[in-house]
Structure 1
Amino acid sequence: MNGNILIKPSVQQKFDHVMQSGRILFFSAPCGFGKTVVANALLRKWRTLCLRADAPDFSLQALPDEWDILLIDDFQLLQEQETSQTLCELIRANPARRFVFLSRGVPPAYLTAFQYTGLMTTLEPDDLLFDHEDIRNFFASCKVAVTESEINGILKESIGYPLGVAITARQMSDGKPFSPELTARAYREVFAYFEAAVYNRFDLPVRRLLLELSLFEDFDMEMVRMVSGDPRAGERMDWLLRHTTMLRYDSRERFHFWAGFRAFLLWEMDREYTEEKRKALFSRGGLYYELKEDYAHALECYTQGGDHTRVAELLVRNADLHPGMGHYAEMEKYYRGLPETEILASPSLMQGISMLCALAMDYEGSERWYGELKKFAEHCGRQDAAGKQARGRLAWLDISLPQRGVKGLTETIPAVFRLLTNKEVALPSFSVTSALPSIMNGGKDFSEWSKKDDLLYKTLRLPVEAVLGRDGVGLADCAIAESKFEKGEDVTGRMLSLLPQLNEIRNRGTPDMEFAVSGLLARSQLANGQAMDARRTIEVLRECFAERGLTRFLPNMDAMLCRIDMHTGNLDAADVWYREKAPREPTHLNVMRRYRYLTQAMVEIMQNRPDAALLTLSPMEPYIQNCARIIDGIHLNVLTAITLHRKHDKRWRKRLTAALDAAAEYSFIRTVSVYGTAVLPLLGALDWDGDKKWYKQLMAAVRMQAAFYPHFLAPRLAPGEELTPTELQILHLLCADKSNAEIARIMDVKLPTVKTHVSHILDKLDVKRRTEARTAAKKLHLVPEDL
């Protein structure tokens, strides 16, 4: 690092604590974290005796008397037991003196007693990394101009690594802007430093071990041995853990490299290893994960290694273990990377690619692969096991493909039931819900069935449960309860009889059905004004699923919690979900995420961003139409109507009319009434000429929800507080630290006009200062986060 000094307040605080009531300050961080520079700055007012552990004449014997603090650099090189004993005795014998140790390794075991008694404070890498404010202050100390957006870019690229920040500041010192070319030069300089100061000091076996492990994001000792093939791998890992801080703990048994050092190792590997050697390492990693039955990571490794045969075999095995459309979406890139010859040889892979095409709304491709699977089945004899498997997978697609709808299922399911009974086919497992909190609107939309739900419950319950196997446990009772709920009935009694089945569902059924039952319970609680109970229902289930490793359900659970937050007015929590977990991918529709898309649009409506909400909603329309998604269509039309209404666009009437027409056809109430106070003014302004009895029931339900949740989807800014286009332009310039005079020049208006606009902006944002306006504007999403 250069001579500019930046001492973080948290570091100064820990140093002051050691000087007042401690004995030892231990710096434990890789090279380039500024340990020496920071230590020298902290100690500049103290009488300090400086020693280097790697000096030929290093000794703790016969030290001079004139010192208050003993500083030992390269502390990780202290190895002799006699030296460690001498050091401990020296610390104990000098209670009035302080000790500062600079190490690239972790604190050694012989200092543990000082740490446990509170006499030693450790500064770790995270304590020394720069944050946004640190970078701004460092550049100021270097007298180098830097903008807020450049600081954000520097923080992102450097991860706050002090040496990287210092090199970047030096390269920008002659007025050069932060750019990709400058970043590349800074990386090369940092890597050259790593190579000279760290990597070249390791012996060859350690270097080889580091390079081979760098291909993997994390690893345990078993994986280290399998990938490296080094019989002394454990010994070398132990040395690295004691003498460096490049390895971090993910848990007690798993490790990963510090990100900056891993980037260097991958750079070094590109120079030293051939492509064939790298592929061989990935294959070893794939074998490790395969033996652990961690197929997601195994597939990633085999794909990186170019082993398509192993990828195909694992996809077949994983499909059997994890059925349902959600599985295919998760494994899409591996299916897409397979040669067609591999797919055509496997009924399981043809089934998977047919479903994947359907989920991507490539219905022509889906039917093409369905046809290939059909040809495969026809070429096999009736007694051929492969033919039986192919016929079973065809039946699975007949039931599951989203473009097929549900109208023919009342004939298909009994027919498949007869084939199962006669043992003519063996069906793969299903996922009726596709990891959504619904059966009616899960893998398929069963609105058509809701018209005759009582009759179908009586006639189809047994064949449906037989065909669906484990996924059929509890399905019929949950489905009819959900159908009645959508029609506005109080399902409290049905839930009381359904909830006792949860134990049976956990033992004999699937987590999909468990989520569907709990999701219906939470929706029922929310509809009855019991929002906190609804939140607790989902939070408990989420915690349970996370412990069981059922991660594919968590994103939709988080979206469900976000909806509850919006109902209760916890807008900050909804903002956090939007910032950290919303899909926000309008150009790449993934139909498996539609529950999250609808949630995202709700947050954007709440944020006063109608254009963003429309951008989120519109890509779903073709899927909803092609796959007869009635319930999704109602939600989409209601949300679109609310959005257009707030934009004063008269087209809202057509969208709301379409929603009401569809809801009335199926007698659905909750699908519309859930929007309560947000849709109530639209219903009052619309002259709808449909079923009056149904409409009266709907209005009663809407008013009830409006009473329970009067602020649901209410905009952050009231109509009278909305910023004009001119005010919005000035707000952007204000947040970019432009003065009133600069704003006047850019906008080509007079200075008093700017002052008037700024005053109006502060009033509308309910703040008093310009600095507060930036925070409020970001919270309201009026300006970008990085401005």
Structure 2
Amino acid sequence: MVKKGDARDERYIRPKVAEEKFKLAQGLKQNVYLYGMTGIGKTAFVKDMLGKKSYDYYSAERDCAERIFIPEDGKEHIIVIDDLQHIMDGRQREEYADRLRVLIKNRNIWCILIARCVIPRWLMPLHVDRAFLMIQEKDLYLDQCGQDAYLKKWNVNMPLEQSKKLWENVGGNPLFLCFLAMAGGDVRQATDDLWKYFLYIYDQWDTELQEFMMEISVLEHFNASMAQMVTGRKNAQQLLERALETGNFLTEKNGIYEYNFILQDYMQPLLERKFDAEQLAYIYHNAGHMYEMRGDILNALKMYEAGGAEKNILRLLIANARQNPATGHYFELRRYYLMLPEELICTSPVLMAGMSMLQSILMNQEESERWYHLLEEYAAKSEGSAKREARSRLLYLDIGLPHRGSVQIQELMKYAATQLKEGKAVLPEFSVTSNLPSMMNGGKDFCEWSKRDKTLAASIGKIVEFVLGKHGKGLVSIALAESYFEKGYDSGEIVALAEKGRMQAEAGGKMEQVFVAVGILVWLSVLNGYAGDAQDMLESFREMAEREVPQLLGNLQAFQCRIAFYQGKIPEIHKWMEKAPDENKDFCSLERLRYLTKVRGYIQFGRYDKAYSLLQKMLYYAKKQKRDYIVMESMLLLAMVRYRMKEEDWESLLQECIERAEEYHFVRIFSREGGAILKLLKAGSFTWQKEEFRRQVLKECEKMGRQYPFYLKEKMEGDIVLSENALNILRLQADGCRMEEIAERLNITTNTVKYHNRETYRKLGVSGKAAAVNEAKNRGLI
């Protein structure tokens, strides 16, 4: 069917990414394959882009392959073939493939193919041979400026913050924006209309596909085997392929599927409505079992809870409580533990021990001790294996409870060794490091041990290694290396001890200990001016950790971010900060390394108010849980923050830190902060007990300051004041908006935009838009 371009819809806004790709293909005469879910605006986009041009339009839903006319007049032609997802029959596919092969070989014909799905298998040979330019669904989404411009054409005007929130939640999805525009900006009405539209689509699927899509809606991400386990359908792979070809309702990458847009939110209510209790229990049980087999305990519990499988929930909680806090999920599962009836917990020594450990992690010390005493009572009344289990758990808590500190650990280790040798207890697995690159500041604070490091290594080193089993391999050498490092001892001896401990840990020990050894070597590289080598070491370890100990990755990435501060890699720091744990949502003591890294990020970007708030949390935690090292580190950083906030208490904070660190001869707690802390040490008047310690601290801080002059350097944010309009312009520029769009959005003239741009460029010391946006992001202004 030959079509002349229709009159342009004045309300239509072109999506920028799709427009750029389309124009590129048009200039190169490269054939286009455009896909997206129904209603997303595929055909409307093509019609708008072709404008007044003549083109032949066909719909595969109603036109067979033979009806597609192949011009042979030597003139240029545009052929649009829509609705390719409707070609399901094998013979039809062959006929269409043959027809398309002839079309795309003709250099005078520009083909534009439109479908709801990614390129299907039957078209893949043509794609490989001739390479379509792909315009995918996401390319059809509007940026924030496009979203605002579209809504404005419907007389829907939103404040900038509301518009930003809408864009963050919807991502510029044209289908939702269309419903929102027609609803006059009423989000609830638009959501209801979208739900009705989805039901219309759903009713077009066959029954088997409907049921399958509902069943897999309980999963966030899944592959074909996971879908088969949950649904019990042997043809899950074929159904997934049908779902992909029917419409772009699922997205697939490397064999992993997920629902597109918000369709999953619509499928789950349908599942609850259309399936009875027995069917739902079957689906949720299968999903829970599948997650459990994959080691995803949190999702397994969610599924078992949804299916009412209380016995499975209890079984998983007991199994998790058998693990140490570094490998278990105490904090993440706290809701499930705290929901358990006390009388039920008191039937299991493992659960009682788990509750004592959880409450200690949550800093509820009295409650932790209450559960400890209940476990003591259980042990006194029990016999046989139950008594042995309870005594083992008590011994585990004696050594491992975070709030008890490390004062009595030496005697406890000797007692534990006796109990183990006599067969009176079996000690559960410990984690000395809690997944941190430190033993001195790992699962517990061992600063006191550093005062007698050589003596303790000789007297109880073998006992500790025996009690801790695999976690004890290499422990003595690595612990000595770390203690020597913190005191600023000879680098050669530190390297020798760290490498020895690392090799011992790698030979039948634990990767957690290897992480500590690597961490010591990394810090030595940084101190010697080789931050790049330090990053290389961490990257090599990361590749190994991903395969063997993924629980280390969170702290490993924080460590890499710490090194990035020395290298001045601001974009990498920004990226890490965006994903860092939110201390205002749930403060988790197990995230202490990431929190202290985040504090440095706040300092780097001049957010001293946020740094101050987080440091107050860290100090409360550290003092309550007897963490001397974190107290010192937090005080040091707090002094830096208060100095930059021009508050007078910075000097007393730094004096207290000096006194505490001097007691242990911890030089490196200062050295790591280099020039950032040297400025304070020179600005104040401090009392030092040992002149040798003072000289070493100042010498190393000066050296680090020379090597990394931009580390936590006080930025110019205080000197740079940008107006609200200037900041809004920068934010919109970051979203890709053009000058005219910005002027329209902010109700100002283009000359005003230009004026603000000139002033912003001058203040930021840049010469263009892209540089201004980058510099503003680096400074934390936007």
Name the CA shift for 1:770/1:600 in 2 (closer, same or farther; >3 Å).
Answer: same
Matched, 1:623 2:632: no
The Cα of 1:403 is off from its aligned counterpart by 1.5
SS at match of 1:50: strand
The Cα of 1:62 is off from its aligned counterpart by 7.6
Aligned to 1:483: 483
Alpha-carbon distance in structure 2 between the residues aligned to 1:717 and 1:356: 44
Name the CA shift for 1:644/1:722 in 2 (closer, same or farther; >3 Å).
Answer: farther
Q: Deviations over 1:710-746 (max 9, x none)?
A: 2221122176x254xxx76786688799xxxxxxxxx
The Cα of 1:141 is off from its aligned counterpart by 5.2
Alpha-carbon distance in structure 2 between the residues aligned to 1:660 and 1:327: 37
SS at match of 1:441: coil
Aligned to 1:543: 543
Larger deviation: 398-407 or 422-431?
Answer: 398-407
Name the CA shift for 1:728/1:21 in 2 (closer, same or farther; >3 Å).
Answer: closer
Name the CA shift for 1:14/1:465 in 2 (closer, same or farther; >3 Å).
Answer: same
The amino acid across from 2:527 in the alignment is: A
Pairing of 1:485-524 with structure 2 (within 5 A): 485-524=485-524
Aligned to 1:354: 356
CA contact (8 A) 2:432 2:471 kept: yes
Alpha-carbon distance in structure 2 between the residues aligned to 1:327 and 1:19: 54
CA contact (8 A) 1:601 1:616 kept: yes
Alpha-carbon distance in structure 2 between the residues aligned to 1:587 and 1:157: 20
Pairing of 1:604-643 with structure 2 (within 5 A): 604-643=602-641
SS at match of 1:201: coil
Matched, 1:448 2:451: no
Aligned to 2:87: 78
Which consecutive unaligned segments of at least 5 residues does structure 2 have?
1-7, 733-753
Matched, 1:220 2:220: no
CA contact (8 A) 2:558 2:597 kept: yes
Name the CA shift for 1:526/1:457 in 2 (closer, same or farther; >3 Å).
Answer: same
CA contact (8 A) 1:49 1:69 kept: yes
Aligned to 2:123: 111
SS at match of 2:251: strand
Question: Aligned Cα RMSD in Å?
Answer: 3.0
Aligned to 1:670: 668
Aligned to 1:364: 366
The one of 49, 60, 64 aligned to 2:66: 60
SS at match of 1:481: helix
The one of 140, 147, 150 aligned to 1:138: 150
The Cα of 1:399 is off from its aligned counterpart by 0.6
Aligned to 1:655: 653
Aligned to 2:190: 186
Alpha-carbon distance in structure 1 between the residues aligned to 2:26 and 2:712: 54
The Cα of 1:97 is off from its aligned counterpart by 2.0
Alpha-carbon distance in structure 2 between the residues aligned to 1:327 and 1:80: 50
The one of 89, 93, 96 aligned to 2:98: 89
Alpha-carbon distance in structure 1 between the residues aligned to 2:728 and 2:421: 72
Alpha-carbon distance in structure 1 between the residues aligned to 2:638 and 2:611: 8
TM-score, structure 2 length as denominator?
0.88
The Cα of 1:140 is off from its aligned counterpart by 5.3
Aligned to 1:163: 175
Name the CA shift for 1:144/1:460 in 2 (closer, same or farther; >3 Å).
Answer: same
The Cα of 1:395 is off from its aligned counterpart by 0.7
CA contact (8 A) 1:432 1:444 kept: yes
Matched, 1:260 2:262: yes
The Cα of 1:293 is off from its aligned counterpart by 4.3
CA contact (8 A) 1:130 1:161 kept: yes
The Cα of 1:775 is off from its aligned counterpart by 6.5
CA contact (8 A) 1:634 1:672 kept: no
Alpha-carbon distance in structure 2 between the residues aligned to 1:542 and 1:58: 55
Matched, 1:698 2:697: yes
Aligned to 1:100: 112
Alpha-carbon distance in structure 1 between the residues aligned to 2:377 and 2:689: 49
Q: Deviations over 1:504-560 (max 9, x none)?
A: 423411121111111111112112222111111112111221233x33212211221
The amino acid across from 1:392 in the alignment is: S
SS at match of 1:130: coil
The Cα of 1:217 is off from its aligned counterpart by 0.7
The Cα of 1:153 is off from its aligned counterpart by 1.9
TM-score, structure 1 length as denominator?
0.88
Name the CA shift for 1:19/1:597 in 2 (closer, same or farther; >3 Å).
Answer: closer
Alpha-carbon distance in structure 1 between the residues aligned to 2:545 and 2:680: 39
Aligned to 1:590: 588
The one of 294, 297, 302 aligned to 1:295: 297
CA contact (8 A) 2:434 2:443 kept: yes
The one of 51, 56, 68 aligned to 2:58: 51
Alpha-carbon distance in structure 2 between the residues aligned to 1:128 and 1:76: 18
Q: Deviations over 1:550-583 (max 9, x none)?
A: 33212211221222111222233222222x2222
The one of 373, 380, 383 aligned to 2:382: 380
SS at match of 1:60: helix
The Cα of 1:638 is off from its aligned counterpart by 0.7
CA contact (8 A) 1:470 1:508 kept: yes
Alpha-carbon distance in structure 1 between the residues aligned to 2:57 and 2:755: 61
Alpha-carbon distance in structure 2 between the residues aligned to 1:502 and 1:758: 55
The amino acid across from 1:351 in the alignment is: A
Q: Deviations over 1:169-218 (max 9, x none)?
A: 3334xxx5xxxxx222212111211211x200112222111111111112
Larger deviation: 81-90 or 353-362?
Answer: 81-90
The amino acid across from 2:230 in the alignment is: V
Matched, 1:424 2:424: yes
CA contact (8 A) 1:734 1:770 kept: no
Alpha-carbon distance in structure 2 between the residues aligned to 1:256 and 1:475: 44
Aligned to 1:389: 389
The amino acid across from 1:589 in the alignment is: F
The Cα of 1:703 is off from its aligned counterpart by 1.9
Alpha-carbon distance in structure 2 between the residues aligned to 1:449 and 1:44: 78
Alpha-carbon distance in structure 2 between the residues aligned to 1:306 and 1:218: 22
CA contact (8 A) 2:478 2:497 kept: no
SS at match of 1:438: coil
Alpha-carbon distance in structure 2 between the residues aligned to 1:780 and 1:232: 53
SS at match of 1:87: helix
Q: Deviations over 1:288-347 (max 9, x none)?
A: 223344434322322333323212212333444666376423433332343333422222
Name the CA shift for 1:151/1:325 in 2 (closer, same or farther; >3 Å).
Answer: same
- Which is bigger in relative contact order (C-alpha 8 A, separation at least 6)? 2
Name the CA shift for 1:37/1:591 in 2 (closer, same or farther; >3 Å).
Answer: same
Larger deviation: 521-530 or 448-457?
Answer: 521-530
CA contact (8 A) 1:106 1:241 kept: yes
CA contact (8 A) 1:542 1:557 kept: yes
Name the CA shift for 1:26/1:778 in 2 (closer, same or farther; >3 Å).
Answer: closer
Matched, 1:6 2:13: yes
The Cα of 1:118 is off from its aligned counterpart by 2.8
Alpha-carbon distance in structure 1 between the residues aligned to 2:147 and 2:621: 47
SS at match of 2:114: strand
SS at match of 1:668: coil
Alpha-carbon distance in structure 2 between the residues aligned to 1:756 and 1:246: 46
Name the CA shift for 1:278/1:110 in 2 (closer, same or farther; >3 Å).
Answer: closer
Q: Deviations over 1:649-672 (max 9, x none)?
A: 111111111101100111111112
Aligned to 1:404: 404
CA contact (8 A) 1:499 1:517 kept: yes
The amino acid across from 2:704 in the alignment is: Q
Q: Alignment identity in percent? A: 28
Pairing of 1:708-719 with structure 2 (within 5 A): 708-717=707-716
The Cα of 1:770 is off from its aligned counterpart by 10
Name the CA shift for 1:255/1:337 in 2 (closer, same or farther; >3 Å).
Answer: farther
Alpha-carbon distance in structure 1 between the residues aligned to 2:325 and 2:582: 27
The Cα of 1:632 is off from its aligned counterpart by 0.6
Q: Deviations over 1:79-119 (max 9, x none)?
A: 34443333333334441223333222333333222211234
Alpha-carbon distance in structure 2 between the residues aligned to 1:503 and 1:334: 40
CA contact (8 A) 1:325 1:355 kept: no
CA contact (8 A) 2:655 2:687 kept: no
